[in-house]
Amino acid sequence: MATSVIELNHIQKKFGKFEALKNVSFTLSSGQVLGFLGPNGAGKSTTIRIILGMLKKTAGTVTVFGHDAWRDDAVIHPQIAYIPGDVYLWPNLSGGEIIDLLLRLNGRDHNQKTDDLMQRFKFDPTKKARTYSKGNRQKVALIAALSQDADLYIFDEPTSGLDPLNEQTFQQEVLKLKQAGKSVLLSSHILSEVERMCDSIVIIRDGSVIESGNLDQMQHLARLKVEVTTTTANDDLARVAGVHDLTFAAADHTKAVFTADRDELSRIMQSLATASILDLRVSPPTLEDLFMRYYGKQGESYAAE
Amino acid sequence: MRQNNRHAGYLLKANLKQNLKFSIVWLVILIMMILSGAVKLEAAFINGASGSKDIVKMLQAPGMAAMFGATPKVSTYNAAIIFAGVMVVFMIILQALWIMPLMIRDTRGQEENGLLEMVRARDVGRTADVTAAFWELLLVSFVMAAAYFASLLAVNMDGTDMTGDLLFAIAMLIANLVFGSLALLFAQLANNTRTASMLSYMLLAAAYLIRLVTDLNHQQLTWLSPIGWFEKVDFYTKNQLTPLLLGLVCSILLYGAAIAIAQNRDLGAGVLAEGKGRATAASWLRSVPALIWRTERGLLFGWLVGAIIFGGVMGSVLGGVGDILKTNPIYRQLLDVKQIHAANQTLVLSFLAMYMGIFVALAVTAGVQIAFRLKHDDQLGYLGIIHAEKPTRATISTSYNCWALFVGILVLSVGLIALFLTGNAVLSQPLPLKYLGRLFIGGLPAVLAFIALGIALVGLWPKLSGLFWLYMGAGLIVQVFHGLFSLPKHAGDFTPFGWIADVPIKALGQPWLAVMLISAVCLLIIGIVGYRHQDLSV
């Protein structure tokens, strides 16, 4: 079994009376690329800051490389490369200076990889940080993080300011890390990014983890999306167990769109067959569907089921 | 013009709301100063001729004249004349410390943090921020002046009249306009708040120093300093209007210049050019202390140059101070040469004792500024990426704190040495080296204890760190005014300023030395440990 790199157990975090994290548990195993999803304000960045020992948890345990994240930050940090969601830089230093400094503080140095990355991201290191756009500030953190040979990479919405080309470059770099067997925690809103790169995902909402696991498994467990056209009206569908979110596209109720529980598929098909099927499309849920379901208002009821 | 200012009214409302707490705290402090000054002086003058004579004599001593401004020469003094003589320079400085950051925050500050970009994309004029800031300046200064006027009327000091009170209030309003519009201009010239603030404070310090030197020796040259203009009004005696007009015209010109720049420049840019940066970091930039040197060295140089100039200027006036025969020719008949020398030296030493507090305060301000950068850099998120790296919080806070202590020591040392060297160059009987020793032994522990207090606050309660300035300011003010307002001898003993009050006339007592050094060490440790346990405000 792979050793766990990050282990969070029932993490709770209160800021005064406000409970930012209620119950967050998940594990990142060695060599795994874990997607960390959730709506704005769900507690993603708070969780990451607890992992980095910048915030003190109220309850629970966090270990990174088997060490306590708060107490042993000195042991943990040299092995970590981190990109914050919002990168703020000393306005008076140039990008090149900051990249070098960040590398040196972790005991590394400006290397060939640094120059390559600067070229690939088309980054001008001579400008003062004051003049950088959000994307360029993000590149500073990206280049410093990716040109460091770390064991664990933590990315907090790393591409939110990048253009699609740079985004692609970033994804290629992460895939390289994956091939090299590095562990990555990636918090992101870009689902295609997560779908392409991550083995498993954790979804957090209102400070609690509401779903976690292997992406394939989750897609398997989730409902299928069904679009069906029949010759006669399909009114019975509403009464069939396992049919959800039913809407009719045509006034005569011959076109239906709904989601279906996999366990009830045969019963649903029987019901559909009585109305004689003209056209049928069944699609597995995309991460986007999962995401919408968990994020939206339905999330609560869905998670409760 | 109108087009460029559209919707400035909305910005004004937003700014007033945003700055409400800051301005109210300052207004309360300022009005308290005016009230307590007026009440104390009135009381001294009512108590009879002896008290009032002492105060007049005290004010005519060179040290006081240097600190507060030259007292007008009239045949009979009353509370009102002395009040104006003491308060004008002092109040202008305090007000500038409130108004200048306020103006910079409203304009360049909002531009720097991106707020202005969002606002300007709406239907808001190009110069609306500058105009809104100026309106705020007018508004808060008017409130302040009205409160001054009401306070003065209420206390009704001996020798005041409605005209004089009104003129004083209006003059203080105009002083705000001068320094406020100056800050507005600097905020347009520089492309960041730090440079703008630095330029503003430098000009304020220069204005103070120019009037200090000229008040002592060439009073007709005091006109060179904007602060000097307001001394020249001669409140409650001549009530001159020309200086006020000068101030008004000057602020309109400065404001006009700020508007003209704002109309024509790119968003985010300034007039002072910004050079290109390095492609790679210098080889020494490989630790947190090195990073602090890299980011704060400009500030440090500014402080050092300031300390040298201040020390040099204060030293150069010692010659005039230590000339007892000039102040009182009768002494020549009463004292022999040796006694005159001794008396001269006592004069110089008491002058130094008075200014020791100012030297310490300057060094503390320089040091605490660096200590507070830790909180500042955390809040702005600069340290976010550093915290995820190898340096621990202890390393990071220790680096900031040691720099803070070092800068304090450096600024004090450089200032005192400059003072001593220039002083001995102009004094006919140079001061023995032991007095420099006393200045150091008194000043350094005080600076360390003060800065360590700031460090402890940042570590334990970063949100309350503003209270530090209140504590230090109150300590300094009580110490400086303590003789004038006949406060109890130990009234100033709630801060180190009181403990070192007699240095260098006497050497600092061992107990206080121990108290300051031990508390400095303890507070430093508290600060570092406290920071270790903070939730970082990223």
Whether B278 and B384 have beta carbons less than 8 Å apart is answered as no
Instruction: For residues B377 and B311, give the distance between their C-alpha atoms in angstroms, rounded to a whole number.
Output: 31
Chain A's closest residue to B292, CA to CA, is A90
User: Taking 50 as the threshold, does the pLDDT of residue B260 lie above it?
Assistant: yes
Beta strands, E only, B105-226: none
For residues A69 and A152, state if they share a domain.
yes
pLDDT at position B181: 96
- Mean pLDDT for B235-258 is 93
Q: Does any domain span residue A289?
A: no
Q: Does any domain span residue A303?
A: no
Which one of B381, B385, B536 has the shortest CB-CB distance to A82?
B385
For residues A139 and A275, state if they share a domain.
no
Query: Cβ contacts of residue A241 below 8 Å, gap of 6+?
Result: A261, A264, A267
For residues A195 and A246, state if they share a domain.
no
Nearest to A159 by CA among A190, A130, A195, A201: A190
Instruction: Assign residue A14 the CATH number of its domain.
Output: 3.40.50.300
- List pLDDT tens digits, range B331-360: 667 777 778 888 888 888 888 888 889 999
* Alpha-carbon distances of B214 from A4, B210, B231, B317, B351, rounded to whole Å: 74, 6, 12, 10, 17
Cβ–Cβ contacts within 10 Å for residue B123, how many? 10
Banded pLDDT at A303 (limits 50, 70, 90): very low
* Contacts with A54 from chain B: Cβ below 8 Å: 384, 387-388, 535-536, 538
For residues A121 and A248, state if they share a domain.
no
Q: Does any domain span residue A302?
A: no
DSSP secondary structure of B275-297? ----SS--TT--SHHHHHHHHHH
- List pLDDT tens digits, range A52-85: 988 889 999 999 999 999 989 888 988 999 998 8
Instruction: Assign residue A246 the CATH number of its domain.
Output: 3.30.70.100
Distance from the B312 Cα atom to the nearest Cα atom in chain A, whole angstroms: 31
Q: Does any domain span residue A292?
A: no
Token pair of B94 as six digits: 């305090």
Banded pLDDT at A26 (limits 50, 70, 90): very high
Q: How many residues does chain A have?
A: 305
pLDDT at position A276: 84
Q: Does any domain span residue A301?
A: no
For residues A61 and A159, state if they share a domain.
yes
Cβ–Cβ contacts within 10 Å for residue B453, how many? 24
Burial class from Cβ neighbours inside 10 Å (0-12, 13-18, 19+) for residue B517 reads middle
Residue type, B421: L
User: Taking 60 as the threshold, does the pLDDT of residue A267 lie above it?
Assistant: yes
Q: Does any domain span residue A170?
A: yes
For residues A255 and A191, state if they share a domain.
no
Token pair of A301 as six digits: 């009821």
For residues A200 and A239, state if they share a domain.
no
Distance from the B241 Cα atom to the nearest Cα atom in chain A, whole angstroms: 45
For residues A126 and A30, state if they share a domain.
yes
- List pLDDT tens digits, range B363-399: 999 999 999 999 988 888 888 888 888 888 999 999 9
How many domains are there within chain A? Answer: 2
CB contact under 8 A, B277 and A96: yes
pLDDT at position A1: 47
User: Taking 60 as the threshold, does the pLDDT of residue A301 lie above it?
Assistant: no
Q: What is the mean pLDDT of chain A?
A: 86
Q: Worst-scoring range by mean pLDDT, B49-58, B104-113, B188-197, B469-478?
A: B49-58
Quick one: what percent of chain B has pLDDT higher than 90?
A: 43
Banded pLDDT at B191 (limits 50, 70, 90): confident
Instruction: For residues B26 and B95, give the distance between their C-alpha atoms in angstroms, rounded to a whole number.
Output: 8
CB contact under 8 A, B281 and A96: yes
- Mean pLDDT for B278-286 is 87
Which one of B295, B391, B533 has the shortest CB-CB distance to A92?
B295
pLDDT at position A259: 85
Which residues of chain B from 372 to 401 reach within 8 Å of chain A, CB to CB? 377, 380-382, 384-393
Query: What range defines the domain where residue A109 resides?
Result: 4-214
Which one of A86, A96, A130 has the shortest CB-CB distance to B278?
A96
CB contact under 8 A, B191 and A56: no
- List pLDDT tens digits, range B133-161: 999 999 999 999 999 999 999 998 888 88
pLDDT at position B538: 53
Token pair of B435 as six digits: 């007095």
| Residue that is last in its domain, among A214, A248, A273 | A214
* Contacts with B389 from chain A: Cβ below 8 Å: 77-78, 82, 102, 105-106
For residues A153 and A268, state if they share a domain.
no
pLDDT at position A304: 46
Chain A's closest residue to B193, CA to CA, is A91
Phi, psi torsion values for B399, nearest 5 degrees: -65, -50
Q: What is the mean pLDDT of chain B?
A: 88
- List pLDDT tens digits, range A110-154: 999 999 999 999 999 999 888 888 889 999 999 999 998 899 999
Which one of A89, A90, A102 has the shortest CB-CB distance to B389?
A102
For residues A155 and A196, state if they share a domain.
yes
CB contact under 8 A, A88 and B280: no
